[in-house]
Amino acid sequence: MAPVHQGEATHCPYCALQCGMYVSEDAGGAITITPRHDVPANDGALCQKGWTAAALLTGGARLTTPLARASRAGPLVPVSWDDALDRVAAGLRAVQDEHGPDAAAVFGGGGLTNEKAYLLGKFARVALRTGQIDYNGRFCMSSAAAAANRAFGMDRGLPFPITDIAGADTVMMAGGNVAETMPPFLRHLRGALVVIDPRRTRTAGRATLHLQPAPGTDLALALGMLHIAVTEGYADQDYIAARTSGFAEARASVATWWPERAERVTGVPVARMREAVHLLGDAGKAMIITGRGAEQHAKGADTVTAYINLALALGLPGRPGSGYGCLTGQGNGQGGREHGQKADQLPGYRRIDDPAARAHVAAVWGVDPADLPGPGRSAYELLDALGTEGGPKALLVFGSNPAVSAPRAGHVAGRLAALDLLVVCDFVLSETAAMADVVLPTTQWAEEHGTMTNLEGRVLLRRQAVAPPSGVRSDLAVINGLAARLGHADGFSADPGTVFDELRRASAGGVADYSGITYERIAAGPGLFWPVPAEDHPGTPRPFLDRFPTPDGRARFVPVDHRPPAEDVDEDYPYYLTTGRVLAHYQSGAQTRRIAALNEASPGPYVELHPDLAERLEVVSGDLVRVSSRRGTTEAPARVGPAIRRDTVFMPFHWAGANLLTNPALDPLSRMPEFKVCAVRVERAVPDAARAADARADRGRA
pLDDT, tens only, 131-167 = 999 999 999 889 999 999 999 999 999 999 999 999 9
Instruction: Please report whether residue 564 resides in a domain.
Output: no
637 forms beta bridges with 624
* SS percent in the chain: helix, strand, coil, step 5: 35, 20, 45
CATH number reported for the structural domain that contains residue 433 in this entry = 3.40.50.740
Same domain flag for 588 and 601: yes
Kindly give the interhelix angle for 218-231 and 259-266, rounded to the nearest 10 degrees: 160
Kind of pairing, strands 421-426 and 394-398?
A: parallel
Q: Is there a domain that residue 189 lies in?
A: yes
Report if residue 280 sits inside a domain. yes
Give domain status of residue 510, yes or no.
no
pLDDT score, position 702: 42
Q: Is residue 289 part of a domain?
A: yes
One domain for residues 25 and 90:
no
User: Minimal CA–CA distance to 332: which of 14, 37, 40?
Assistant: 14
pLDDT score for 88: 98
Residue 273 falls inside a structural domain: yes
**In this structure, how many other beta carbons lie within 10 angstroms of the beta carbon of residue 199?**
22
**Are both 172 and 32 inside the same structural domain?**
no
One domain, residues 114 and 222: no
Query: Do strands 192-196 and 209-211 pair parallel, antiparallel, or not at all (unpaired)?
Result: parallel
CA distance 316 to 151: 13
Residues of the chain with pLDDT under 50: 1-5, 689, 691-693, 695-696, 698-702
> Which structural domain range is residue 26 located in?
8-58
In a domain, 556, yes or no: no
Does 375 lie in the same domain as 281?
A: no
Domain CATH for 221: 3.40.228.10
Q: Are strands 528-529 and 133-135 parallel, antiparallel or unpaired?
A: unpaired
Question: What was the pLDDT predicted at 568?
Answer: 96
Q: Indicate the DSSP class of residue 123.
A: I
Instruction: Report yes or no: 676 and 296 within 8 Å, Cβ to Cβ.
Output: yes
CA gap 517, 531 in Å, rounded: 9
Distance from C-alpha of 46 to C-alpha of 208, rounded to nearest angstrom = 25
The domain spanning residue 44 has which CATH number? 2.20.25.90
Q: Quick one: 304 and 406 in the same domain?
A: no
pLDDT of residue 688: 53
Nearest to 135 by CA among 345, 286, 278: 345
Pairing of strands 678-684, 624-628: antiparallel
547 within a domain of the structure (yes/no): no
Same-domain status, 239 and 262: yes
DSSP 125: I
CA distance 130 to 216: 36
DSSP 126: I
Beta-carbon neighbour count of residue 612 at 10 Å?
13
Last residue within a domain, chosen from 308, 327, 346:
327
- Write the CATH number for 588: 2.40.40.20
* Last-in-domain residue among 272, 299, 327: 327
How many whole angstroms separate alpha carbon 435 and alpha carbon 419? Answer: 10
Q: Among 12, 3, 104, 1, which Cα is nearest to 452's?
A: 12
The pLDDT assigned to 687 comes to 64
DSSP category for residue 433: G
Q: What are φ and ψ of residue 349, in 5° steps?
A: 65, 35
How many domains does the chain divide into?
A: 4
Element (H, E) at 50: helix 48-51
Single residue among 261, 295, 327 that ends a domain in this structure: 327
Whether residue 154 is found in the same domain as residue 255: yes
Cα-Cα-Cα-Cα dihedral sign, residues 165, 171, 175, 178:
positive
Whether residues 176 and 322 share a domain: the answer is yes
**pTM for the full predicted model:** 0.95
Are 321 and 366 contained in the same domain?
A: no
Q: Are 595 and 486 within one domain?
A: no
**Is the same domain home to 49 and 168?**
no
